[in-house]
Chains A and B, each alone.
Chain A
Amino acid sequence: MRSSISLERITVRFDTTTAVSDVSETVAPGEWVGLIGPNGAGKTTLLRSIARLVKHEGRVTIADEDSTHLSRRHLARLVAYVPQRPTFPPDMTVSDYVLIGRTSHIGYFSFETKGDRTVCSGLLDRLDLARLAERQLATLSGGELQRIVLARALAQEAPVLLLDEPTSELDLGRRVDALELVDGLRAEWGLTVVSALHDLTLAGQFADRLLLLAEGRIAAAGPPGDVLEEESLGHHFGTNVKVLRTGDGELVVVPQRRR
């Protein structure tokens, strides 16, 4: 299960503003690409254009197929998407929610099979959610919900996983847990991951490559060591930052107060 994404001159316009401007990029199979950049830089819009949730100019190719020519069903088997603010029907159970991820494997007017239900219970087990299976979504914590959305996306069994701020609701420990989980599944299943991440240190720790977006354009791209660079981060985020290197070679991005 391997796939790659190729973006050719992607531009997204909303009325008078241009959210994403002429972005071209290729994501290799099995790669984890982190999108970083200030608020409003176009990270979410770029992810949404890969998921075909916004109208865009240019071409998105997924697994060598032009995404505009794919049916929703076919696209859902190639790309799974975890939005920044998912909708949780309060009285839906966890297992029913995760089963919705199987939609692209179920006929339009048919119902899920035992196979679909087995995939979902396997995922709940893998994500340590099995004991929550019959709970209603309204009764769960933010951290549990974020893992449940991930389970729903993984139930699609798509080779490409798009994550929009997957850890915003999580405390520091859970944040690392969630990203480790994604990384483990990436290694195990050969997933290609594109994620927007606000935490620059974590972005540098987990992504193979970072894209720094600013005003809809790619301002810098490359391995974390090249992109996490004091002067350019300071310029684009509008504040002074220090990039420190720990004893074991990890990069730490620290903002500096304006005294």
Chain B
Amino acid sequence: MSAVAQTTTAAREVPGHPATPRPIAPLARRVSVRKPLFVALCALVGAMVVGVSVGPADLSLSTVMSALVSHVPWLGHHAHVSKVQSDIVWQIRLPRVVLGGLVGAMLAGGGAAYQGVFRNPLADPYLLGVAAGAGLGATAVIVAGTQNSALLPVAAFLGAVGAVTLTYLVGATVGRRGASTSIVLAGVAVAALLTAIQTYLQQQHEPDLQGVYAWILGSFNTASWSDVVLILPYVILSAIVLVAHRRLLDVLRVGDDEADTVGVHSARIRLAVVAAATLGTAAAVSVSGLIGFVGIIVPHTVRLTTNASYRVVLPVSMVGGAAFLILADVAARTVQAPAEVPIGVVTAFVGAPFFLFVLRSRRAQRSVT
């Protein structure tokens, strides 16, 4: 209580007293992203090493490392690895690790971005209908029985982007233009509608049920370099736009009115960030299926352990999300080896308890109200 009393007297002294002319030091640079980013990068490297080392083919760590460098110019001359060993590492394990990393980075970064623009700690990248749209697109291709497997990610991507576009067209034009509440509500409605259509399609084509189900729960078991190449442009574009907006996401934290009056256009920032996050998330789910919880648990872990500023949360979540999903995929393919557990089951198994923990934490209670 004495601190409060001091506050009172100190505040009383302000008026009337001219500011004493003395040199003022600038505010300390408080937000440091370097340390948490370094930790996350170390985790990512560790996860990648585990990811390429674990698998049904019994390769030693030194063999894996030799196989890895065997493709590196100048270093690769002295490596003693067979063609098969090299292919297992380079054509099966590494693309799977890289793809898992890209998807994890997009889901976690997209989640952090959505939480920022909607000022909702429970927002995830599926909030505006990405998952429902992708699910509908993928289901449509699966039940159509087409033999062309390249169509599946394209349909999922288009479904996801189309769903969010529909949400925005409906939500951003009612009420105050670009206000977040009506957009989120429109997202709920669009997602419900598309999920209903998807469920209907699925029920009409019972023989395909397992294929649809397997896609929805997510998996990397067919990951290849072509998947990586397919989504890489979207991932890079999305990551650049999101990271470039990290300071502006902090500005949006103080509310739309305040953000507008300090000199930004909150509705435009929201649109740019949602567009970038949607593009990245849609690309990610088109090759991985609907992996849940990554977009919520990773950004919240970063917030709880470091700093709530998006200058930290956004880049660290991306790197941390990549590491998390690579490790989740390792778990998915080892727990029941040689069978695979759907990766969505692994992330939810870890994510659901954590989600409850976040809900219970005082920080979340304060921000939700």
Q: Which A positions have Cβ atoms within 8 angstroms of B?
A: 48, 51-53, 72-73, 75-77, 79-81, 83, 86-93, 95-97, 99-101, 103-104, 106, 108-109, 111, 114-115, 117-118, 120-122, 124-128, 133-134, 138, 141, 143-144, 147, 152, 156, 173-174, 176-177, 180-181, 184
Enumerate chain B residues within 8 angstroms of A83, measured Cβ to Cβ: 255, 257-258
Enumerate chain A residues within 8 angstroms of B7, measured Cβ to Cβ: 141, 144
Give the shortest distance, in Å, between B242 (CB) and chain A (any CB): 12
Which of A87, A90, A109 sits near B255, CB closer than 8 Å? A87
How far is A6 from B253 in the complex, measured between Cα atoms in Å?
A: 32
Give the shortest distance, in Å, between B22 (CB) and chain A (any CB): 9
Enumerate chain B residues within 8 angstroms of A152, measured Cβ to Cβ: 254, 258, 262
User: Interface extent on B, as a size class?
Assistant: 35 or more
| Interface contact A181-B264, CB-CB below 8 Å | no
Enumerate chain B residues within 8 angstroms of A97, measured Cβ to Cβ: 254
Enumerate chain B residues within 8 angstroms of A75, measured Cβ to Cβ: 261, 263
Give the shortest distance, in Å, between B178 (CB) and chain A (any CB): 13
| Interface contact A133-B261, CB-CB below 8 Å | no
| Interface contact B15-A177, CB-CB below 8 Å | yes
Q: What 16 additional pairs, Cβ within 8 angstroms, besides A93-B30, A96-B31?
A: A72-B264, A75-B263, A87-B253, A100-B250, A101-B262, A103-B262, A109-B247, A111-B247, A121-B24, A121-B25, A125-B24, A127-B14, A128-B13, A177-B11, A177-B12, A177-B15
Asked, given contacts A103-B264, A104-B262, whether A120 binds B14 with beta carbons under 8 Å apart, the answer is no
| Interface contact B363-A72, CB-CB below 8 Å | no
Asked if B79 is an interface residue, CB under 8 A from chain A, the answer is no
Interface residues of B in 1-39 (CB under 8 A from A): 4, 7, 10-16, 19, 24-31
| Interface contact A103-B30, CB-CB below 8 Å | no
How far is A176 from B11 in the complex, measured between Cα atoms in Å?
A: 11
Per DSSP, chain A at the interface is helix
How far is A181 from B260 in the complex, measured between Cα atoms in Å?
A: 25
Enumerate chain A residues within 8 angstroms of B259, measured Cβ to Cβ: 103
Enumerate chain B residues within 8 angstroms of A125, measured Cβ to Cβ: 19, 24
Enumerate chain A residues within 8 angstroms of B251, measured Cβ to Cβ: 100, 103
Enumerate chain A residues within 8 angstroms of B264, measured Cβ to Cβ: 72-73, 103
Q: Which B positions have Cβ atoms within 8 angstroms of A?
A: 4, 7, 10-16, 19, 24-31, 119, 244-245, 247-248, 250-251, 253-255, 257-265, 303, 308-309, 363, 366-367
| Interface contact B262-A174, CB-CB below 8 Å | no
How far is A184 from B27 in the complex, measured between Cα atoms in Å?
A: 24
Enumerate chain B residues within 8 angstroms of A51, measured Cβ to Cβ: 257, 260-261
Which of B255, B263, B366 sits near A103, CB closer than 8 Å? B263
Give the shortest distance, in Å, between A112 (CB) and chain B (any CB): 8
Enumerate chain B residues within 8 angstroms of A117, measured Cβ to Cβ: 26-27, 29
Enumerate chain A residues within 8 angstroms of B119, measured Cβ to Cβ: 87
Asked, given contacts A104-B262, A104-B263, whether A90 binds B363 with beta carbons under 8 Å apart, the answer is yes
Enumerate chain B residues within 8 angstroms of A180, measured Cβ to Cβ: 14-16
How far is A138 from B362 in the complex, measured between Cα atoms in Å?
A: 11
Which of A80, A121, A144 sits near B261, CB closer than 8 Å? A80
Enumerate chain B residues within 8 angstroms of A143, measured Cβ to Cβ: 11
How far is A173 from B29 in the complex, measured between Cα atoms in Å?
A: 34
| Interface contact B263-A76, CB-CB below 8 Å | yes
How far is A152 from B287 in the complex, measured between Cα atoms in Å?
A: 45
Asked, given contacts A51-B261, A177-B15, whether A89 binds B254 with beta carbons under 8 Å apart, the answer is yes
| Interface contact A120-B247, CB-CB below 8 Å | no
Give the shortest distance, in Å, between B15 (CB) and chain A (any CB): 3
| Interface contact A181-B15, CB-CB below 8 Å | yes
How far is A156 from B24 in the complex, measured between Cα atoms in Å?
A: 18
Question: Which 5 A-B pairs give the minimum distances between C-beta atoms?
Answer: A104-B263, A76-B263, A87-B255, A180-B15, A117-B26
Which of A96, A115, A181 sits near B309, CB closer than 8 Å? A96
Asked, given contacts A53-B261, A72-B263, whether A121 binds B253 with beta carbons under 8 Å apart, the answer is no
Enumerate chain B residues within 8 angstroms of A108, measured Cβ to Cβ: 248
Enumerate chain A residues within 8 angstroms of B255, measured Cβ to Cβ: 83, 86-87
Asked, given contacts A72-B264, A104-B262, whether A122 binds B308 with beta carbons under 8 Å apart, the answer is no
| Interface contact B27-A120, CB-CB below 8 Å | yes
Which of A86, A109, A156 sits near B244, CB closer than 8 Å? A109
Give the shortest distance, in Å, between A72 (CB) and chain B (any CB): 5
Which of A87, A109, A118, A134 sits near B258, CB closer than 8 Å? A87
| Interface contact B30-A95, CB-CB below 8 Å | yes
| Interface contact B26-A121, CB-CB below 8 Å | yes
Give the shortest distance, in Å, between A211 (CB) and chain B (any CB): 21
Which of A87, A95, A133 sits near B254, CB closer than 8 Å? A87
Give the shortest distance, in Å, between B112 (CB) and chain A (any CB): 14
| Interface contact A184-B15, CB-CB below 8 Å | yes
Enumerate chain B residues within 8 angstroms of A80, measured Cβ to Cβ: 261
Asked, given contacts A72-B264, A141-B4, whether A133 binds B15 with beta carbons under 8 Å apart, the answer is no
| Interface contact B13-A100, CB-CB below 8 Å | no
Give the shortest distance, in Å, between A91 (CB) and chain B (any CB): 4
Enumerate chain B residues within 8 angstroms of A114, measured Cβ to Cβ: 26
| Interface contact A91-B250, CB-CB below 8 Å | no
| Interface contact B262-A92, CB-CB below 8 Å | no
Enumerate chain B residues within 8 angstroms of A106, measured Cβ to Cβ: 247
Enumerate chain A residues within 8 angstroms of B257, measured Cβ to Cβ: 48, 51, 53, 81, 83
